[in-house]
Homo-oligomer: A and B are copies of this chain.
């Protein structure tokens, strides 16, 4: 069924049907009512593919995340989706699985759908995506990090500085034998940045780095459970395990509890990200607070601004930092 069919049924032209469906055009109220009624009765659903081709507006925005299982990214995607829905846009989600090559393939596949904006979870990108993005001439927003050479707009925070701040705060609490537990894969630059931040904070305090790694990103609770052994065999005198993320930290704590160890008395543990589990779990987990929803909302806002800006006068690149501050909780609160 096409617009033509609706039109013929009412003795009008397809164009009038088209106009009746987009509320801004000038159509007589009675005509519009008749069109909407006919559409309802016939169960007509417009073909947006044809509409997109003709109007050169796909109604899509594309977002690439490394993982959907991570509650943080899903929350960002959720907030972004809501923000864009207000502008009548659908979100196309691509899952890179922390794989740079996969990201490049997805960028190509998604650009073929002519998105009107694209959101990348900042990470080391395959250089080949840059010309493709440039040619697409659409707003690009990188989220979840502050890249050294931004492509265009950015909403995020420095994973390095945030982790450095957390470790510095913990050192200030009196900890010194702090061991870092992260993922094995360096393609995940967010993980690598956090590790670097840890190293810097340790160095600033005159301490050497104590690095362990387990599993591949994203780090899971199960990785944390196994990770405790790794940490203890490499650095038996560890006082505090600084984990790359909250789920990993939770796993380490669970492993401690299975051994009958009290956290933080026997071993302290910190995470990153302020997942719900960090607030609710017992003990509550010391972490870096990130508002994943805010990142999505801000990114949606920037895309809105970019659309509102004149086409010929594109919006100047926006770099919008979001807070990422240490939050000390019971898992590292020890009287000394």
Q: A residues bordering B, Cβ < 8 Å?
A: 1, 43, 45-50, 52-53, 58, 68-69, 71, 74-75, 77-78, 81, 90-93, 95, 108-114, 131-132, 135-136, 220-222, 224-225, 247, 250-251, 254, 257-258, 276-277, 279-282
A112 touches B45 (CB 8 A): yes
Query: Which chain B residues lie closer than 8 Å to A58 at the CB level?
Result: 49
Whether A49 and B114, one on each chain, are in contact in the complex, defined by CB atoms closer than 8 angstroms, is yes
| CB-based contact A277/B280 at 8 Å | no
Other A-B pairs, 20, CB within 8 Å; known A45-B135, A49-B52, A68-B68 = A1-B135, A43-B132, A45-B108, A45-B112, A47-B114, A49-B58, A68-B78, A69-B74, A91-B93, A92-B92, A93-B93, A221-B277, A221-B280, A222-B276, A222-B280, A250-B277, A250-B281, A254-B280, A257-B282, A277-B277
Choose among B48, B109, B131, B281 the residue that contacts A90 (Cβ–Cβ < 8 A): B109
Contact assessment for B276 and A254 in the assembled complex, using a CB-CB cutoff below 8 Å: no
Known: A71-B71, A74-B69, A112-B48. A280 touches B131 (CB 8 A): no
CB <8 Å contact, A113 and B43: no
Q: Given the complex of chains A and B, what is the CA–CA distance between A91 and B62 in angstroms?
A: 12
From B43, B95, B250, A280 is in contact (CB under 8 Å) with: B250
Q: In the complex, A98→B147 CA distance in Å?
A: 37
Interface of chain A, main secondary structure: helix
Q: Which residue of B lies closest to A114 (CB)?
A: B49
Q: How many copies does the complex hold?
A: 2
**A and B contact pairs by CB, cutoff 8 A, 15 listed:** A1-B135, A45-B112, A45-B132, A47-B53, A68-B74, A69-B74, A90-B92, A221-B276, A221-B277, A222-B276, A222-B280, A250-B281, A251-B280, A258-B282, A277-B277
Residue of B nearest to A40 (CB): B128
Which of chain B's residues have a CB closer than 8 A to the CB of A78?
68-69, 95
User: Smallest Cβ distance from A135 to chain B, in angstroms?
Assistant: 6
Residues of B within 8 Å of A45, CB to CB, are: 108, 111-112, 132, 135-136
Q: Give chain B nearest CB distance to A104 CB in angstroms.
A: 12
A114 to B132, CA, bound (A): 26
Q: How far is the CB of A267 from chain B (nearest CB, A)?
A: 14
Least Cβ distance of A293 to chain B in Å? 10
Alpha-carbon distance between A220 and B280 when the two chains are bound, in angstroms: 10
In the assembled complex, the Cα of A92 lies from the Cα of B93 at a distance in Å of 7
Q: Separation in Å of the A90 CB from the closest CB of chain B?
A: 7
Q: Nearest chain B CB to A252's CB is how many angstroms away?
A: 10
Query: A112 and B46 in contact (CB under 8 A), knowing A78-B95, A93-B93?
Result: yes
Within the complex, which residue of B68, B75, B282 is in contact with A77, where a contact is CB–CB below 8 Å?
Answer: B68
